[in-house]
Amino acid sequence: MSHSTAPPRKILVVHGPNLNLLGRREPEIYGRTTLEQINRGLVEHGARLGIAVEAFQSNHEGQIVDRIQQAAGGCDGLIINAAAYTHTSIAIRDALAMLEVPVIEVHLSNIHKREEFRQASLMAAVVTGQIVGLGASGYRLALQAIAEMLPAPMAVA
């Protein structure tokens, strides 16, 4: 009788508007790390944790909602930086609320120290937790946190 290991757990990372410009857009606030570097680091860290990481970025609210809805039942956890939509999108908030997996909201900057309109997160009440103000490393910490929340994968016969 041979045993194979369980398929890797899957984490979806959703990046909102303007995050495709990371490294170039306001680096004094958002840092010089590019989105590609963040995603590559997450895939590498995920591999060490036995987690498959898929990243998705869109500047369009409806596409983000669609991708979150597609993730329901198909991922074991979700990391989201909704960027500007954090403060405005009830649609993204409602899509996140339907998920039954750990969801971590990430922000590169500390939104609580920013302009008043950036301090409120519509997502906060429906996510498992938030990581703010730790730059690009916040994503890696979110992945680590979700990995620790998930049950250990079981081998299948």
Q: Give me the active site residues, please.
A: 30, 107
Q: Which residues, 6 or more positions from 44, have their beta carbon under 8 angstroms from its beta carbon?
A: none
Answer for the pair 11, 79: CB distance below 8 angstroms, yes or no: yes
d(CA 74, CA 108): 26
* First-to-final CA distance of the chain: 8
Query: Cβ(71)–Cβ(78) under 8 Å?
Result: yes
